[in-house]
């Protein structure tokens, strides 16, 4: 094979890095159109451009989900604790990504924070401040009662879907200790020796995990699209901009925390505790293998 060939994990990581790069590229596009919309005070042509861009962004997400589904068929377990993620991101992961319900929390958070900012601006009488007056939804702080009602109904439905999927993955995790895997592990003389029966059982589980990943990604894409449908063009663009900045920021914050963690020194007393614990585990593994 050529030098450009990749193993499955490298291909999955490359797909992720391309996705992160695309998200970074979309941020200035969103900012530019939002700034134009603010300066032009509700120009219809600008709203059409915002709809087109938000449509492209939803399409980006759908295409990325399709690539993940294809790569997951070859190895799905990588997506449940990706090596290309930081520990912080993996600690927050759900079914290979974020919870769709977190999109709603972002809407609520932005709605509250923007309202607070606008009130502060009004009280301080900052130059250039204009009340929206209900004129087409200038920001998420202008969500109408009808919009909020639709978002709340959708939120409840998505939480229900998440719970159903969580039960499915819990069942799969429990199956890992089921027959024939548990029986083979108990009966083999040496721990971890290759076994055809175990490989077949784990392959079947990986297939099920790949299907669940695709299902979760579909729910994420569908939820995002339905939220944007409820919002005005400006609100939708504002929401997607916040989501992208949050995703990219969490990765960078995770990297910074990892860097600080690697620089942290463990004192001698702590080091002895870690050494003793590792020795105990190694002795147990040796005893088990030789028994």
* All residues at 6 or more sequence positions from 118 whose CB lies less than 8 Å from its CB, including other chains: 129, 139, 141
Give residue for tokens 């923007």: 114
pLDDT at res. 212: 96
Q: How far apart are CA 124 and CA 212, in angstroms?
A: 51
CB 20 within 8 Å of CB 248: yes
pLDDT at res. 164: 96
pLDDT tier, 240 (very low <50, low <70, confident <90, very high otherwise): very high
The per-residue DSSP string of 207-232 comes to HHHHHHHHHHHHHHHHHHHHHHHHS-
pLDDT at res. 153: 96
Over range 212-237, report the average pLDDT. 96
Instruction: Give domain limits for the chain.
Output: 8-129+139-258
Write out pLDDT tens, residues 63-74.
Answer: 999 999 999 998
Q: How far apart are CA 65 and CA 284, in angstroms?
A: 43
pLDDT more than 70, % of the chain: 79
Q: Residue 153: is it exposed, middle or buried by C-beta count within 10 angstroms (0-12/13-18/19+)?
A: exposed
pLDDT tier, 243 (very low <50, low <70, confident <90, very high otherwise): very high
pLDDT at res. 54: 96
CB 141 within 8 Å of CB 118: yes
pLDDT tier, 197 (very low <50, low <70, confident <90, very high otherwise): confident
What pTM, to 2 d.p., does this model score? Answer: 0.80
pLDDT tier, 98 (very low <50, low <70, confident <90, very high otherwise): very high
CB 234 within 8 Å of CB 54: no
Write out pLDDT tens, residues 34-52.
Answer: 988 877 665 678 889 999 9
Write out pLDDT tens, residues 253-290.
Answer: 999 999 998 887 666 555 555 455 555 545 554 554 45
pLDDT at res. 274: 47
């Amino acid at each position: 094979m050529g030098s450009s060939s990749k193993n499955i994990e490298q291909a999955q990581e490359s797909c992720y890095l391309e996705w992160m790069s695309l998200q970074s590229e979309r941020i200035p596009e969103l900012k530019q159109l939002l700034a134009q919309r603010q300066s032009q005070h509700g120009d219809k042509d600008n709203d059409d451009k915002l709809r087109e861009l938000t449509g492209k962004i939803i399409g980006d997400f759908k295409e990325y989900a399709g690539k993940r589904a294809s790569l997951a068929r070859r190895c799905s377990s990588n997506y449940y604790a990706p090596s290309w993620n930081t520990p912080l991101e993996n600690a927050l992961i759900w079914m290979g990504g974020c919870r769709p319900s977190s999109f709603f929390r972002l809407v609520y958070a932005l709605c509250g924070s923007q309202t607070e900012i606008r009130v502060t601006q009004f009280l301080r009488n900052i130059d250039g401040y204009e009340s929206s007056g209900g004129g087409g939804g200038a920001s998420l702080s202008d969500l109408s009662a009808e919009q909020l009602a639709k978002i709340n109904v959708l939120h409840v439905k998505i939480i229900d879907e998440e719970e159903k999927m969580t039960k499915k993955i819990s069942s799969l995790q429990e199956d890992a200790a089921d027959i024939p895997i548990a029986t083979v592990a108990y009966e083999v003389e040496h721990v971890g020796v290759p076994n055809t029966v175990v490989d077949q059982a784990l392959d079947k589980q990986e297939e099920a995990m790949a299907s669940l990943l695709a299902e979760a990604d579909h729910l994420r894409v569908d939820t995002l699209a339905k939220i944007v449908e409820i919002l005005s063009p400006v609100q939708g663009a504002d929401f997607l901009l916040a989501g992208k900045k949050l995703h990219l920021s969490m990765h960078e914050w995770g990297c910074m925390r990892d860097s600080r963690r690697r620089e942290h020194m463990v004192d001698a007393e702590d080091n002895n505790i870690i050494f003793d614990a590792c020795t105990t585990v190694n002795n147990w593994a040796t005893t088990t293998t030789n028994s």
